[in-house]
């Protein structure tokens, strides 16, 4: 599947990567790494990508939802900002180099953006489980991408 969601033109202010956000992300990573798979009231994992421009490994804590066949679903919401988060572009550029970390274990995953009926089913599940994502969608004119992460054998 293609990673083809364009940026929008309207939306909420994108969270800034300043010192407070970097501290919060490091705190979340440590908690997730120690087995605290919940953060901010939802399941969380550390998404490990390779920067599309820099080639440097990037780590981002993100919420996840259970998908079919043991997969995990993540949403590139950026809290309803008009632009996709940087990690989305990193996944799109290097989908074969994505890994996740949960409870201190790192796993290689296959990343796939959902489209059509698959996306619609996943979206209903996500907005039921976490209504804040429906709020994020209302804030922006872009369709929030849903990415399925499946463990590679």
> What's the whole-number mean pLDDT along residues 90-98?
95
pLDDT bracket for residue 146 (50, 70, 90): very high
pLDDT higher at 11 or 31: 11
User: Which residue spans within the chain are E strands per DSSP?
Assistant: 38-39, 42-50, 57-63, 65-66, 72-75, 99-102, 105-113, 146-151
> What's the whole-number mean pLDDT along residues 4-30?
76
Q: Each residue of 19-76: pLDDT tens digit?
A: 776 766 676 677 776 666 555 678 899 999 999 999 999 999 999 999 988 999 999 9
pLDDT higher at 104 or 67: 67
Domains of the chain: 19-151 (2.30.110.10)
pLDDT higher at 18 or 8: 8
Q: Each residue of 110-133: pLDDT tens digit?
A: 999 999 999 999 999 999 999 999
* CA of residue 58 relative to chain centroid, distance: 13
DSSP assigned state of 97:
G
| From 9-18, 49-58, 140-149, the region with the lowest mean pLDDT | 9-18
CB atoms inside a 10 Å sphere around CB 14: 15
Reported as half-sphere exposure (CB side, CA atoms, 13 A), residue 125 has a value of: 16
| pLDDT the model gives residue 37 | 59
| pLDDT the model gives residue 20 | 72
């Amino acid at each position: 599947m293609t990673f083809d969601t364009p940026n929008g033109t309207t939306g909420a202010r994108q969270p800034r990567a300043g010192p407070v956000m970097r501290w919060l992300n490091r705190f979340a990573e440590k908690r997730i790494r120690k087995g605290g798979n919940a953060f901010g009231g939802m399941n969380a994992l550390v998404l490990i990508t390779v920067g599309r421009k820099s080639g440097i490994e990037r780590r981002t804590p993100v919420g996840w939802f259970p998908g079919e066949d043991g997969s995990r679903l993540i949403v590139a919401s950026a809290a309803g900002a008009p632009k996709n988060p940087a990690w989305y572009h990193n996944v799109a550029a290097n989908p074969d180099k994505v890994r996740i970390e949960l409870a201190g274990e790192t796993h290689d995953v296959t990343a796939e953006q959902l489209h059509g009926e698959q996306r619609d089913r996943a979206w209903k599940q996500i907005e039921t489980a976490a209504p804040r994502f429906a709020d994020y969608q209302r804030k922006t004119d872009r369709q929030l991408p849903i990415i399925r992460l499946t463990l590679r054998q």
